[in-house]
Amino acid sequence: MIPSSDILFSSISEISTRLRAKEFSAAELTTAYCDRLEKIGAAHNALARPLRESAIRKAKDVDDDLKRGRTRGLLQGIPYGAKDLLAVKGHPTTWGSKIFAAQVFTEDAQVIKRLDKAGAILAGKLAMVELAGGVGYRSAAASLTGPALNPWDRARWAGGSSSGSGVAAAAGLVAFALGSETSGSIITPAAYCGVTGFRPTYGLVSRRGAMSLAWTLDKIGPLCRSAEDCGIVLAVIAGGDAEDPGSARRGFTYAPKFDRKVSDFTVGYAPADFDSVAADARPALQAALAAVKGMGVKIKEIKIPDFPHGALIQTIIGAEAASIFEDIIRDGRVDQLADRNQAASLKAALDIPSVDYLKAMRIRTLARQAMREIFYGGVDLILTPSRGEPAGPVTDALGGARPAPWIPAGNLAGIPAISLPCGFAGNLPVGISFLGRAFFDNHVIAIGRAFQSVTDWHRRRPPVE
């Protein structure tokens, strides 16, 4: 049986159940996803490299294992895509840039290894903004593959820098995708593309084998159909890694049966966050706020701590990225970047005084403490719009997007967040986010599951076939 598009848009649990019921084989499922990825993904500039041959080979191995009763978990036989900053042995890992177009690694990234061991099937590498959007890009076209086109409206942007991952998850090109976030690169494409994106606690998921943009901020996480799917994927990719200096050396178990009751949660929100969004996004976000209040949680008004979060994170990313990419800045290859503003910003970042970086890190410690005090003050979770506007035209400069202050604040603190589809502005998705305290990732996923049990926005599909 060739899986239908309804199956390809199903949850991981649903696909896994039907695969084990032998409604279709892993090879048939993988072929169907590869067909969509290569056709629709390419048309939306979301595909960096197809991996059909190795994916089908892996799928046949899974089919053989299933016939012999060798089961490994829910991700066995499930095709996925990975952002092209994750190393895949023997295949180019371009980091979204022609500077590194011929770069090939001899070892898989740690998260790829973990997924392979679980039986998941890598169907393709997904497009990204050059160098993960580091230091001041202003164009959606700042990518080796061109601007990622939103599957809800091809004239709109898919969001950066995990743009291909957002498109792939939204358009049913894979069952789930891996992205990365330094400051907004999971939350933004999840919101713009209408999928569920999860940013884990800093250090929970190994970055070994991933391009580094800012080593004190980088995180790898899933973009999925639902919060439950995020939990399933996170349980496989999380865990300590002695070879990642930023690893928290902690594991994660997804056990929804042990979730706290929603009525036990206190959710903090700042009314100004919902009042300052774009007019066309306001009705959906206000309705989402009302839905959360109707879930039985306790609500508490809060304010974002009074720190220059945006300026702090820009200084830290700039200084760390300039150190990482010093060689291409000094030898002139940086001028090959598609976005001239990004090239100029990287050059300027090389001149950031060490005293400015150290001062930013010192203030960051205070900002992180202020964030902890919100949680210690009786708040379990923070609710905020994921973005203040729906996706903008793909041809527009990106600097005009409305600020999303909890994105830099949450990333500076290294705390988990989930972006959930919550409605539409016209035909474009809108998302809300929940943030939680560090290593309370299960609480963040639990509130996401609760929200999606009373709404169906995560089940909506873009008009692509």
Establish whether 212 is a catalytic residue.
no
pLDDT at residue 397 greater than cutoff 80: no
Mean pLDDT of 94-115: 98
For the chain, what is the total number of helices (H) and then of strands (E)?
Answer: 17, 13
Is 146 within a domain?
A: yes
What letter would DSSP give residue 455?
A: -
Set 163, 180, 185, 247: catalytic member: 185
Is 331 within a domain?
A: no
Q: Would you place residue 144 in the very low, low, confident or very high pLDDT band (cuts 50, 70, 90)?
A: very high
Q: How far is CA 185 from CA 64, 120, 129, 181, 446, in A?
A: 37, 23, 10, 4, 22
* pLDDT at res. 451: 98
Q: Would you place residue 171 in the very low, low, confident or very high pLDDT band (cuts 50, 70, 90)?
A: very high
* Rounded distance between C-alpha atoms, residue 106 and residue 307, angstroms: 43
Q: Would you place residue 279 in the very low, low, confident or very high pLDDT band (cuts 50, 70, 90)?
A: very high
Is 283 within a domain?
A: yes
Q: How far is CA 390 from CA 171, 278, 287, 352, 386, in A?
A: 17, 8, 16, 33, 10
Set 11, 25, 83, 143: catalytic member: 83
Is 66 within a domain?
A: yes
* pLDDT at res. 402: 82
Averaged pLDDT score across all residues of the chain? 96
Is 332 within a domain?
A: no
CB count in 10 Å sphere of residue 68 = 8
Is residue 306 exposed (0-12), middle (13-18) or buried (19+ Cβ within 10 Å)? exposed
- Percentage of the residues of the chain whose pLDDT score is greater than 90: 94
Q: For the chain, how many structural domains are there in total?
A: 1
Establish whether 54 is a catalytic residue.
no
Structure tokens at 22: 């032998």
Structure tokens at 95: 């980091």
pLDDT at residue 401 greater than cutoff 80: no
- Tens digit of each residue's pLDDT (9 = 90 or more) over 305-357: 999 999 999 999 999 999 999 999 999 999 999 999 999 999 999 999 999 99
Set 16, 139, 143, 161: catalytic member: 161
pLDDT at residue 99 greater than cutoff 90: yes
Q: How far is CA 240 from CA 53, 116, 180, 191, 251, in A?
A: 31, 17, 18, 29, 6
pLDDT at residue 400 greater than cutoff 70: no
Establish whether 161 is a catalytic residue.
yes
* Domain hosting residue 194, numbered range: 5-307+361-459
Mean pLDDT of 152-166: 97
Is 324 within a domain?
A: no
Q: What is the CATH number of the domain that holds 76?
A: 3.90.1300.10
Ranking 235-239, 357-361, 438-442, 461-465 by mean pLDDT, the lowest is: 461-465
Is 228 within a domain?
A: yes
Structure tokens at 464: 């692509």
Work out whether strand 79-83 and strand 176-181 pair parallel, antiparallel, or are unpaired. parallel
Is 465 within a domain?
A: no
* pLDDT at res. 258: 86
Q: How far is CA 100 from CA 79, 84, 170, 460, in A?
A: 26, 11, 28, 37
